[in-house]
């Protein structure tokens, strides 16, 4: 379980998170929606310990993420994170990219790490791309490679930060389908997304963030189809006016 208690985050004089309170339950897919600058991506990075916080506490499986005594590198093994940019090593094959962290960080043997990498490439539908370089793969394939690389550390939680926003519309569907697969297998996920249809169809709960605060949270039916707060209603009206993406 992830517990977020009164979390505050500032960049200089700019308050980005203003007392966030959220729980993420085991097996849940929680979607974070909101306008750019509302704090969604920053919150993910705070959960993973990539950004310090100025107040409050984030607890993952009973461990306080930002406690100076916490071994953050060990804790991050529980928290796979996938960003908008793929960040694959261009000189390594897909198999080598996925096997690297298990071999270097988890100290798996070379043979074991490669077998694990092949398993996760198969899992995300890239089994036939093991020997391909990232430059030989489409954007959607590279994003699925990033997901396989995160899964190779066998995390308890997956954090996704706008993973389809850099993709051409026709490639979005294959990445979202991989995320739906993980949900069906019981993976606990926190997903920052601009794809309202994905949030409506796949999320157990949706949280709408506005100016660093959780403005509204509930089921997709409650937040997306029947929002109660004016700011949520305005945001969703703007989103509906945008061109539809292929999902």
In a domain, 111, yes or no: yes
Are residue 114 and residue 171 in the same domain, yes or no? no
Residues ≥6 apart with Cβ < 8 Å to 188: 2, 24, 25, 26, 27, 28, 29, 156, 157, 158
Whether 170 shows a pLDDT value over 90: the answer reads no
Are residue 109 and residue 207 in the same domain, yes or no? no
Strand 55-60 with 2-11, pairing: antiparallel
pLDDT value of residue 239: 85
Are residue 143 and residue 204 in the same domain, yes or no? no
Mean pLDDT of 151-161: 93
Dist CA 104 CA 83 (whole Å): 21
Rounded to 5°, the CA angle 47-225-36 comes to 40
- Which pTM does this prediction carry? 0.91
Residue 176 belongs to a domain with what CATH number?
A: 3.40.50.300
Assign 138 a pLDDT band (cuts: 50, 70, 90).
very high
Are residue 172 and residue 238 in the same domain, yes or no? yes
Q: What domain range is 120 assigned to?
A: 89-154
In a domain, 101, yes or no: yes
Dist CA 245 CA 117 (whole Å): 31
The Cα-based distances of 206 to 4, 184, 217 in angstroms read 15, 18, 6
Residue with tokens 């949520």: 232
Are residue 218 and residue 240 in the same domain, yes or no? yes
Assign 247 a pLDDT band (cuts: 50, 70, 90).
very low
pLDDT in tens, 171-227: 888 899 999 999 999 999 999 999 999 999 999 999 999 999 999 999 999 999 999
Are residue 240 and residue 166 in the same domain, yes or no? yes
For the chain, the domain total comes to 2
Whether 245 shows a pLDDT value over 70: the answer reads no
Mean pLDDT of 84-105: 91
Whether 163 shows a pLDDT value over 60: the answer reads yes
Mean pLDDT of 83-102: 91
Strand partners, 165: none
Of 154, 185, 207, the residue at which a domain comes to its end is: 154
Are residue 172 and residue 236 in the same domain, yes or no? yes
Are residue 185 and residue 143 in the same domain, yes or no? no
pLDDT value of residue 243: 56
- For 246, the 3-state DSSP assignment is coil
- CA-based nearest residue to 204, from 225, 189, 182, 193: 189
Of 154, 178, 205, the residue at which a domain comes to its end is: 154
Dist CA 161 CA 139 (whole Å): 16
Are residue 171 and residue 245 in the same domain, yes or no? yes
Are residue 71 and residue 176 in the same domain, yes or no? yes
Are residue 230 and residue 206 in the same domain, yes or no? yes
Are residue 231 and residue 245 in the same domain, yes or no? yes
Whether 246 shows a pLDDT value over 80: the answer reads no
């Amino acid at each position: 379980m992830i517990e977020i208690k009164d979390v505050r985050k500032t960049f200089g004089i700019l308050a980005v998170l203003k007392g966030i309170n959220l729980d993420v339950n085991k097996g849940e897919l929680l979607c974070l929606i909101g306008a750019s600058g509302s704090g969604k991506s920053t919150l993910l990075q705070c959960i993973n310990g990539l950004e310090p916080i100025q107040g409050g506490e984030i607890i993952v499986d009973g461990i306080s993420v930002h406690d100076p005594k916490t071994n953050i590198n060990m804790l991050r093994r529980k928290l796979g994170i996938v960003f908008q940019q793929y960040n694959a090593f261009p000189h390594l094959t897909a198999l080598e990219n996925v096997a690297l962290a298990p071999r270097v960080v988890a100290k798996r043997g070379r043979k074991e790490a490669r077998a694990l990498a092949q398993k996760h490439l198969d899992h995300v539908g890239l089994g036939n791309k093991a020997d391909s370089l990232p430059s030989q793969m489409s954007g959607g394939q590279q994003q699925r490679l990033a997901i396989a690389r995160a899964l190779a550390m066998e995390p308890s939680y997956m954090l996704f930060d706008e993973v389809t926003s850099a993709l051409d519309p026709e490639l979005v569907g294959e990445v979202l389908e991989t995320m739906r697969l993980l949900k069906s297998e019981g993976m606990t996920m926190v997903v920052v997304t601009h794809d309202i249809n994905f949030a409506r169809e796949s999320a157990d709960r949706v949280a709408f963030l506005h100016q660093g605060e959780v403005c509204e949270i509930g089921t997709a039916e409650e937040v997306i189809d029947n929002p109660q707060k004016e700011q949520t209603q305005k945001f969703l009206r703007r989103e509906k006016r945008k061109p539809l993406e292929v999902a």
